[in-house]
Each structure stands twice: as structure tokens, then as C-alpha cells.
Amino acid sequence: MSVVAVANQKGGVGKTTTTVNLAAASAEAGRRTLVIDADAQANATSALGAQPQGAFLYDALLGQTQLQSCIVSTSWPGLDAVPSSMDLVAAEIELAAHSRREYVLRGALTEVAGSYDLVLIDCGPSLGLMTLNALAAADAAIAPVQCEYLALEGLSALLETIRRVQVHLNPGLHLLGVVATMYDGRTRLSQDVATQLKAHFSAMFDTIIPRSIRLSEAPSHQRPIIDYAPRSRGAEAYRELADELLNRLSDLPPSTLYRDGALDGVAR
């Protein structure tokens, strides 16, 4: 099981769109895939049309139920989800006194190790405790960045957070790459930002996600783009990005995060 956190503390850069559509493309390629909605806004839950069965991620993190009990199927074959709710806002406060507060999500994920090939965690727009939980639970992280200059400004803070997590919480975490999103090739701005990303980040993904009306419409229909508009530019881009992601994951050393006893001795 490979676990990937989709993170960027800036809102509106395409984290949820990337999570949902990468997951659908992964499932289309035959991988058993799980999306964990770790954002209290629950946009990934809505975009996937995931109908909660009474339990949310919040309940699993607080120990009120097991993560397995929160998992619901989506309309896309091979793709499941752990839904979120506004209650997740309170989780950071309620977990503050937990002795291993940064590892609660990792502990919950041990319940489903072996059930999925790929787990994608949709992080909220912050670098708070929930994002730290996602990064501590992940083998790798990817960072969507909107092709605008303001989106570049917060990227250094995210990269510094990832570095600190690697040092203090999860030495096995890899930055898998930066993904340029909402690219409009007709504008000089998008071209300049994409050029800067390529110049400064060797881990930049080759696939660039275009700005697309179809991508914007798909969540309102609670369907991934490869179902809503399977031949659109956005659908093809996410299929290509999924191929890149899976290839990069295959190049990583074998993960030890979810082996028996992997949490034993973790610093408190």
C-alpha cells in the first residue's frame, strides 16, 4: 500500500481536484484506491458523491470507531472514500493532548493496510495538525500549485514543513513532485509560472493540468472527470499524471510504515 498526501496550505490550487481525479485514474488502471478526505470542508467527499454511512474520519481519529467502518464505496469501480465533515475542525483541539497526536491517522491506516494499492489523502488549506498527520502517515507528498504568482509564495513554507516532518516525524517521507495546475497556455502568466516551477524544482511533474471548464463542472455532478468527460483535456491530463505518479512510487524504496510494529518506539 502506497500512501500519498496531496498538500498545499494555500487554498484554491487544485488539491481536491487533483486528489479525486488521480484516484479515479488510478482505479481505472486497476489499482484498488482509497481517498481520505482530511479537510473539514469535505469537498472531496462531495466531489466523489461519497454517501456517509454514519461515520466520518473524525470518528476514527477520536477512537469512536475503526477506520474500516467509515469507508464508503463511490460510483467509480475500485474507488472508495473516507468522508469528512465539519466536525474535523474540532479534531485538532481534541487531539492536542494525545501523546502521539501526529500519528493518529497513521495508526488508523494500519487497519486497512493490504486492502488498497494506493491511498490518497486530501489535505486542507493549512499546515496544522491534520496536515501533519497526513504527512506523518504518507510515503510521499505531492504539491499542486496554481499557475499564478501568489500560489508560488506559499510553496516554500510547505517545502520547509515537509523537511521538518522528514527530520522529526517521518524520515521515510518523499516529496514526489510539484504539479502545475490551472494552466492556461494563452496567457504569459501561466507560461512564466510553469517555467519558474521547472527551473526551481527538479521534482516537477512533466504533466501540466490545464484550466478546464469540464474540470470545474465535474464536482457539481459528483463524478470524476474521467467519468464526466472521459475524452476531455482534463481527463487525459489526469490519466497522464496518474501514470507519472505510479511510476515514481514504484521507484521508491519499499515502505515500512504499515508493517507490524511500525509505530513501536515512535517518539512521543
pLDDT tens digits, one per residue of 79-91: 999 999 999 988 8
Average pLDDT of the chain is 90
Rounded average pLDDT over 183-191: 86
The per-residue pLDDT for 84 is 95
> Which stretches within 95-232 are classed as H helix?
104-109, 129-137, 149-153, 155-168, 188-200, 213-217, 225-228
pLDDT at 197 over 90: no
| pLDDT confidence bin for 155, thresholds 50/70/90 | confident
Q: What percent of the chain has pLDDT over 70?
A: 97
Cα(252)–Cα(199) distance, integer angstroms: 23
The residues that bridge with 81 in the sheet, in sequence order, are 35, 72
Tell me the whole-structure pTM to 2 decimals.
0.93
Contact residues for 251 (Cβ-Cβ < 8 A; gap 6+): none
Instruction: Tally Cβ neighbours within 10 Å of residue 150.
Output: 11
pLDDT at 148 over 90: no
pLDDT at 139 over 60: yes
pLDDT at 151 over 80: no
Rounded average pLDDT over 212-229: 93
Contact residues for 42 (Cβ-Cβ < 8 A; gap 6+): 83, 84, 85, 86
For the chain, the distance separating the N- and C-terminal CA atoms, rounded to the nearest angstrom, is 25
| pLDDT confidence bin for 3, thresholds 50/70/90 | very high
- Max intra-chain CA distance, the chain: 53
The residues that bridge with 38 in the sheet, in sequence order, are 123
How is 55-100 classified by DSSP, letter by letter? Answer: --HHHHHTTSS-HHHH-EE-SSTTEEEE---TTHHHHHHHTTT-TT
pLDDT at 262 over 50: yes
Closest CA to 242 of 234, 253, 231, 252: 234
pLDDT tens digits, one per residue of 103-121: 999 999 999 988 999 999 9
Instruction: Check: CB of residue 23 under 8 Å from CB of residue 138.
Output: no
pLDDT tens digits, one per residue of 25-48: 999 999 999 999 999 999 999 999
> Phi first, then psi: what are they for 13, rounded to 5°?
-100, -5
pLDDT at 131 over 50: yes
Burial of 12 (0-12, 13-18, 19+ CB in 10 A): middle
Cα(96)–Cα(128) distance, integer angstroms: 11
Burial of 137 (0-12, 13-18, 19+ CB in 10 A): buried
Strand order in the sheet with 118-123: 72-73, 79-82, 33-38, 118-123, 2-6, 140-146, 174-181
The per-residue pLDDT for 150 is 73
What is the 3-state composition of the chain as percent helix, strand, coil, each rounded to the nearest 5?
45, 15, 40
| pLDDT confidence bin for 92, thresholds 50/70/90 | confident
The per-residue pLDDT for 268 is 33
Rounded average pLDDT over 176-183: 92
